[in-house]
Structure 1
């Protein structure tokens, strides 16, 4: 009896190794995840710098809590608004291009078929093969074929401004909670050094995670993020100490 391959085996063999991602949406998901890590990193550094600076100026918990909350809200909301505006502009542009391509296909299907075949020829296919590929893809989904070949757009994966805004704000708040909780809950005598240490460790973690997601060197990304955060904390601590010493705080 001849050996019969299951559909799963054939699919896996055709696409590559089983542990390799071939979902066409994987790049978009990785971009969202990377943005989330960067947002959390911003939340950690921004709020930590604020609360450490205020704590260096005064031991009173009231001003520290007020400044920390202001930094948290004042950081999360602008990030959400900025992300919403940016992604809205991107979405509008993508939808305009999709509408234009759809109209071109309606008005001149043969001309669009020839254009698609020409694009595949430019990628290295022979004229006959390019024409055949273009014809088969057009029969399957003409709009998707043209959006992919001409504009590198997937009609089903147009970004959502609201989702982008919400994820940006949530990521910032998730990062900001760590230094805020540390500076508020820790004893006064250990407040600044322990918050500093926790923030540095958190930045090392987000740096390593970002490097893993992006495929960049782990050590370099971790050290870069950690040093940058430490410098920011050191600068605000110095300013706060000077203000507290001079009585301006």
Structure 2
């Protein structure tokens, strides 16, 4: 049923909703990275040795290193994005202060390019400029909300947490069973987990489920196969 504004109650279009979807998608991808990288590591070690202590050491080291790497990478990336957004906003503030008429005409032309008539585009530009000139220009010209700049610390902690959660699954799967079934149990658990994260990612992005799930699972299986082969060769050479 349509609401008073003409929208649909199940179709939120606000920027906060889009931001939440992006965070959730990033979390799923971070967990996926944790699953694949840790599974490849512990399966490679398990192929080389049956020593539980060696597998635990490698697995925990892999989880810690991967989580820190994800956090550091995300922090640097988002910090760079935030610095760019701040620089663009500072430039926009300066232009609004030094050449307000030119900026008003530019805003009107942008709305006209979106399909408004010249008269309506000018009226909209004038009203939005009177309300909040910086927000109006930032949204249309830059695609930035001055009140919702990206936070590098949030991104770093979220990536670290997502990676760690994903990484704990293959680590637990390789340690709980007895040595003869470790690799098989871990492989099955990882395939199921990757199918789930692929399904979630496809749903969040509105993509086709089957290709997304197959790509996800295929990548994980390839990683485990390669590391298992390497571990087997190394194990034979040192035994």
After TM superposition, the score normalised by the length of structure 2 is 0.96
Find the counterpart in structure 1 of residue 147 from structure 2: 156
Aligned residues: 239
1:168 to partner: Cα distance = 0.7
Find the counterpart in structure 1 of residue 97 from structure 2: 106
CA offset digits 1:110-145 (Å, max 9, x no partner): 221111111111222111111111111112211111
Tell me, yes or no, if structure 1 residue 75 matches structure 2 residue 66.
Answer: yes
| Whole-Å separation in 1 of the counterparts to 2:189 and 2:100 | 61
Instruction: Pick one of 52, 60, 63 that aligns with 2:51.
Output: 60
CA offset digits 1:60-97 (Å, max 9, x no partner): 10110111011111111111111111100100010111
**Aligned-partner SS, 1:25:** helix
* Contact 1:182 1:191 (C-alpha < 8 Å) held by counterparts: yes
Find the counterpart in structure 1 of residue 235 from structure 2: 244
**Unaligned segments of structure 2, at least 5 residues:** none
Tell me, yes or no, if structure 1 residue 183 matches structure 2 residue 161.
Answer: no
Find the counterpart in structure 2 of residue 170 from structure 1: 161
| Whole-Å separation in 2 of the counterparts to 1:67 and 1:238 | 17
| Whole-Å separation in 1 of the counterparts to 2:96 and 2:132 | 11
Over the aligned positions, Cα root-mean-square deviation in angstroms equals 1.4
1:159 to partner: Cα distance = 0.4
| Whole-Å separation in 1 of the counterparts to 2:117 and 2:200 | 43
Find the counterpart in structure 2 of residue 121 from structure 1: 112
Find the counterpart in structure 2 of residue 195 from structure 1: 186
**Aligned-partner SS, 2:9:** coil
| Whole-Å separation in 1 of the counterparts to 2:16 and 2:88 | 20
Find the counterpart in structure 1 of residue 201 from structure 2: 210
**Aligned-partner SS, 1:51:** helix
| Whole-Å separation in 2 of the counterparts to 1:112 and 1:217 | 43
* Contact 1:15 1:22 (C-alpha < 8 Å) held by counterparts: no
| Whole-Å separation in 2 of the counterparts to 1:138 and 1:240 | 64
**Unaligned segments of structure 1, at least 5 residues:** 1-8
* Contact 1:101 1:143 (C-alpha < 8 Å) held by counterparts: yes
1:15 to partner: Cα distance = 4.4
1:234 to partner: Cα distance = 1.2
Find the counterpart in structure 2 of residue 137 from structure 1: 128
